[in-house]
Amino acid sequence: MSENSFGFIFHPILIREHVNKKFPPLGTILPIPVINWACQFFPPQYISEITGIRSRDTGETVKGWFVAAPYTPQAMQDLPLEKVYSKIIDTINLAESKGAKIMGLGAHIAVVGDAGKTISERVSIPVTTGNSYTVAVAVDSMIEAANIMDIQMTEARVAIVGATGSIGKACARVFADVCPELILIGRDSDSLNQVRELCDGKTATIIASTNINSIYDADLVLTVSSAIDAIIEPKHLKPGSVVLDVARPRDVSPAVARERDDVLVIEGGMVEVPGTHANFNFDFGFPQRKAFACMVETIALAMEGRYENFTIGRDISPQQVREMREICQRHGFKLSGFRAFEHAVTQETIDNVRERAFANRKLWRPAI
């Protein structure tokens, strides 16, 4: 029996740093607008072979490959959609030529166009955005972070930025059942009202807003917009709040890390992959044997031998989220710590945030 296998496609996000990894020193010497323009002329890139990931359930290993479509987020926004699709499809074909039997769509590739539907129709292997497990891990991470910060979910005001996207909408449906107030933030009022209707009649009182300033009253902020640039600044957050940034590129400005030592920012939960010799053979900013949830969904489907389109399009059902959580738990994947701005979130960091938040709550006023 042939070994189960997968591929995962991503693209430059931290543009200078990521371009320099593959094409030094172009990331340093070229202006960003030039990189955004020039990237369309680069071919699909083979990055690394992934080895040693072993299912706890079956004891079998899976093999994988990282490949990259050399489009920046800005390029994907500016270029004709068909041209973007063409490069993504060529990159998936590269992974298939290596042996991949299912493909994970990473970062902005997961949301471009119709969120994987058209891509799935134009390639010969199944694809998934990984967003079902991303939702599961986002919810679990937010609940764990709330506990760490002594925020009671039954009393918390929760905000979701990017609530009309697939991940935001699915998370909204979950949190509407567990918190007393839910603030939905999005750019389009009609789409927001559709999400509000999905959440009405549950535990939470629902507030819908197109104004990012509305998150100021939130104790817990989950942000997962498809914005190209950061949209959450230091002025938007109250002391003691938790921000879970699932978006790639990030929604939270680096200025928050510099200026707000009284809020806890985490970038989704890291997931530990099973297998003591697991190796991605590429540094994407996580410690060894740790991965993004979207990657894990792809790996887990390969472990299951489930070579089918799993999460595509902009609607994620609660059943998909539950099923993927169960699959990943069975194979030995587990939430394992937090990171923010390329660094581990330590207990010392958490203690300092709690201390500063206690002091600043007495004086803080929003600068908005």
Region of poorest pLDDT, from 26-35, 61-70, 359-368: 359-368
- Give, as one character, the DSSP assignment of residue 245: E
Q: What are phi and psi of 182, to 5 degrees?
A: -130, 125
* 3 state SS of 66: strand
Q: By CB neighbour count within 10 A (0-12 exposed, 13-18 middle, 19+ buried), where does 52 fall?
A: middle
Q: Give the number of other CB atoms < 10 A from CB of residue 366.
A: 11
Q: Which of 351, 276, 344, 329 is nearest to 51 (CA)?
A: 276
Residue 337 binned pLDDT confidence (cut-offs 50, 70, 90): confident
CA distance 37 to 39: 6
Strands, E assignment, the chain: 4-10, 45-54, 61-68, 103-105, 127-128, 157-161, 181-185, 205-209, 220-223, 242-245, 264-266, 269-272, 290-291, 334-340, 343-344
Residue burial 60-81, b: 16+ Cβ < 10 Å; e: rest: ebbbbbbbbbbbbbbbbeebee
Query: For 133-269+339-360, CATH number?
Result: 3.40.50.720
Average pLDDT, the chain: 92
Element (H, E) at 203: none
- How confident is the model at residue 1, as a pLDDT? 45
Whether the per-residue pLDDT at 351 is higher than 70: the answer is yes
pLDDT in tens, 97-120: 999 999 999 988 998 999 999 999
Contact 245, 274 (CB under 8 A): no
SS3 content of the chain, % helix, strand, coil (to 5): 40, 20, 40
CA distance 160 to 182: 8
Question: What average pLDDT does this structure show over 186-214?
Answer: 95
Whether the per-residue pLDDT at 227 is higher than 90: the answer is no
Whether the per-residue pLDDT at 276 is higher than 70: the answer is yes
CA distance 14 to 8: 18
Cis-peptide, bond into residue 274, ω within 30° of zero: no
Portion of the chain with pLDDT greater than 90, in percent: 77
Instruction: Evaluate the CA torsion angle 295, 269, 342, 153 in order and state its sign.
Output: positive
Domain ranges of the chain: 4-130+274-313, 133-269+339-360
- Between 156 and 27, the higher pLDDT residue: 156
